[in-house]
Amino acid sequence: MRGGAVAGTLARRLGTGDAVFVGLSAMIGAGVFAAYGPAARSAGPWLLASLALAAVVAYCNATSSARLAALYPESGGTYVYGTRRLGHFWGYLAGWGFVVGKTASCAAMALTFGAYVAPELARPLAAGAVVALTALNLLGVQRSALAARVMVVFVLAVLATVVAAAVLNPGLEPGLRYSGGEVDAWGVLQGAGLLFFAFAGYARVATMGEEVRDPARTIPRAITIALFVTLAVYALVGYSALTVLGPHRLGASQVPLADLARETGIGWLPLLVTAGAAVASLGALLALILGVSRTVLAMARRRDLPAVLDAVHPVRKVPHRAELAVALAVVALVLLADLRGAIGFSSFGVLLYYAVANASAFTLTREEGAPAKAVPVLGVVLCVGLAFTLPVASVLAGLAVFAVGVLAWLLKR
């Protein structure tokens, strides 16, 4: 039956366009409104070099993930690929890093929404957003994909308006000065690691491999399109913010695009940016909850997480118990967590997750659709390298969480 699925499996209802917009909602919502300030503090006037390096890492990861997702069109992403290609331990470690790191990302996006809408009520609003979007996901993945499409179109329109106002405004005095200092290689690397947080959304397409029609064709196309559209948007926005605000003001800003909008002198533009940030945060949160819950389902199927989470709703064909568990964890983090720490911690976990993805892709044969060997090799080196250039607190927290995961693995056995 069309759109149907056997008991215990998810229904293949998403086409290429749906998958592209799910990826775009995760990437654009996460990065444009949150990552430029911290990255500019590290990279200074070389912010665009950090963006280019982050894009190279993302391309390697996207290529490896697309080839693996086409071969293994199941929920779980690198948890599945690592298990199949490298062994159960490496798959488990990737899944652990993804679930914990992306749960922190969910909290970060929810807190960003609350902070933009009403800073004094940020935490209650964030918790409410998690509950509302989880309810939307429980209604079915097609409704979630439609909501993601609407959100992305609105956010892209806001960003286009801001860029046009900055670039075409003859009264703005450029704040960018490239001649002020030498290249800080460590700062560029750290900036790339922080900006990579913004690109990680294409994983949502791979983790939803069980719900995509014709996955061997759809997944690689959707990941590639989403990645390059996001890179183009980021480059335009980053150039505008860096040119108008300059590296020091940009690095010091907590809301860089709102500051950019205020600099244009257009009275209604900051309000539009605030609305765009709120919608983008909701779009990112929607896609993040989708991806994390699918990985939780995959790990529960192999009993790496509690078996009670291995359930697919008989009518809606969604992993309802996994989604409810993720929502509870995110609400707890929203009430306790720090936004800045959540972003750094998430970047560490996701970079190591993709290191496993690239290592898995390295084992593919030509008959299995292997990419050029240089792609996964470069991906592993850059992922591990950027992970350990992140702020010390993020690295230590990430190592501690992975140590807990390894201990759980050993105790189980």
Angle between helix 339-362 and 88-117 (nearest 10): 150
Q: How far apart are CA 309 and CA 300, in angstroms?
A: 6
Tell me, what's the pLDDT at 8? 55
Tell me, what's the pLDDT at 3? 45
Structure tokens belonging to residue 57: 């890492």
Phi, psi of 180 (to 5 degrees): -80, -10
Q: What is the pTM of this model?
A: 0.78
Tell me, what's the pLDDT at 2? 41
In single-letter form, the type of residue at position 86 comes to L
Q: How far apart are CA 22 and CA 273, in angstroms?
A: 21
What is the rounded (10 degree) CA torsion for 17, 20, 26, 29? Answer: -80
Structure tokens belonging to residue 394: 């993020």
pLDDT tens for the 413 residues of the chain, in order = 344 444 455 566 677 777 787 778 767 765 688 778 888 888 888 999 999 999 999 889 988 988 888 788 776 778 889 999 999 999 999 988 888 888 888 888 888 888 778 878 889 999 999 999 898 878 765 555 676 678 788 888 999 999 999 888 766 666 554 444 566 888 999 999 888 877 776 666 666 666 777 777 787 788 888 888 888 999 999 999 888 888 888 888 877 888 889 888 888 999 999 898 888 888 778 878 887 888 888 888 888 888 888 888 777 777 889 989 999 999 998 888 776 677 778 888 889 999 999 999 999 998 898 899 999 999 999 999 999 998 888 899 889 989 999 998 888 77
Tell me, what's the pLDDT at 160? 92
DSSP class of residue 315 equals T
pLDDT digits (tens, 9 = 90+) for 155-192: 889 999 999 998 887 666 665 544 445 668 889 999 99
Tell me, what's the pLDDT at 167? 83
Q: How far apart are CA 336 and CA 334, in angstroms?
A: 6
Contact 113, 120 (CB under 8 A): no
pLDDT digits (tens, 9 = 90+) for 246-262: 888 888 887 788 888 98
Contact 225, 197 (CB under 8 A): no
Residue of 197, 283, 245, 215 lying closest to 40 (CA atoms): 245
Structure tokens belonging to residue 202: 């294409």
DSSP class of residue 117 equals H
Beta-carbon-side half-sphere exposure of residue 237 (alpha carbons within 13 Å): 29
Contact 25, 152 (CB under 8 A): yes
Which residues neighbour 39 within 8 Å (Cβ) at sequence distance 6 or greater?
47, 50, 51, 191, 192, 194, 195
Q: How far apart are CA 229 and CA 396, in angstroms?
A: 33
Residue of 189, 190, 257, 196 lying closest to 227 (CA atoms): 196
